[in-house]
Amino acid sequence: MILRMRMKVVIDDKIPFIRGEVEKLVDEVVYLPGAAIGPTQVKDADALIVRTRTPCNRQLLEGSNVRFIATATIGYDHLDTKYLDEVGIQWTNCPGCNATSVGQYVRNALLEAERAGMIRLGETTVGIIGYGHVGKAVYNALRPYVKRILLNDPPLEKVESLECRVESFYSSLETLQEECDIITLHTPLTKDGEYPTWHLIDERFLNSLKRQPVIINAARGGVVDEKALLEAMDKGMVRQAIIDTWEGEPDINPTLLRRAFIATPHIAGYSADGKANATRMSLAALAEWLRAKGKGQRDNGKGIMANVNNICPPEAKAERTGLRYSPMEDSERLKMHPETFEKLRGNYPLRRE
């Protein structure tokens, strides 16, 4: 028997497969749109489960009861982690939860580019910038289709030197600029530190390209300077763009939207499988936090763990599964109605890996 704790949890209402599970652990659960989660809504909450649409910072949290935050996403630049650490609010993200989904998106987008006569995958060299969970998944998805893959990840190269674990090898950005027909981005968004990624792809980078590559951004919007990208496309220095993550979301650049071969509303990682992974990881983290606070009054979260492992997404239509999924359909919807960016992202049609 699970004894619920007297706690309140506020949850983004677009997180799938979570309804009914947290209710087994705590006595009050509130579901709200991510952008509607504000100081008033969290003041008496003990924990939050959010997505990228909820900035978790001093402005939101000061004076609240919140002591735990899980973001059901890989990225966590919407969390002011320095502030959270300073005030003792435990936080967690879901690294790798949707990596395979992004790999599917990039592979299938490039298959569409090949069908359009834009590239010949078997003759291409691909550069992957960022070789974490997602970069590895993209590597595995593309390896059977392309001639060569170059990797760029200075922090990883510095720590591990890649240890020759992959068939390709670490390359500098300069090498990618010279040799790659496709450059795909899978980094976090950082503005400081030794290797900042904010506007990593900027005018200077683009002006040094040698092979008119296709640029793919399925990382974070600010990794690409979109104004510079459009100028490079105008000059013929960039063959085409595939854009899933945008600066200024949801108010995206209308010119880049029109020009991009594929333009989607930040859904590369939105397979039902990836979403289920994120929900499982968030629930497990919440259960662990509650276990630490339970003091023997309950089953210490063990009951929910069985339910976590049982969270499975339903089957999708055949045309939105595996290799048959086409990002072109998602792109067409956004291009027709860019004002519905948030709606398209929040009500994404079921897709399976």
Catalytic residues, by residue number, are 220, 249, 266
- Nearest Cα neighbor of 280 from 300, 304, 303 is 304
Distance (Å, whole) CA 342 – CA 237: 31
Tokens 């834009």 identify what position? Answer: 118
**CB of 335 closer than 8 Å to CB of 258:** yes
- Nearest Cα neighbor of 242 from 256, 222, 263 is 263
Burial of 205 (0-12, 13-18, 19+ CB in 10 A): buried
- Nearest Cα neighbor of 224 from 210, 212, 238 is 238
- Nearest Cα neighbor of 127 from 157, 75, 172 is 172
DSSP string for residues in 310-324: T--PPPPPGGGBGGG
Distance (Å, whole) CA 163 – CA 169: 10
**CB of 50 closer than 8 Å to CB of 69:** yes
- Identify the three-state secondary structure at position 269: coil
**Helix, strand and coil percent figures for the chain, each rounded to 5:** 40, 15, 40
H helices of the chain, in order, are 39-42, 58-61, 81-87, 99-115, 133-142, 154-160, 173-179, 203-207, 226-234, 254-259, 272-294, 302-309, 327-336, 341-346
**CB of 10 closer than 8 Å to CB of 17:** no
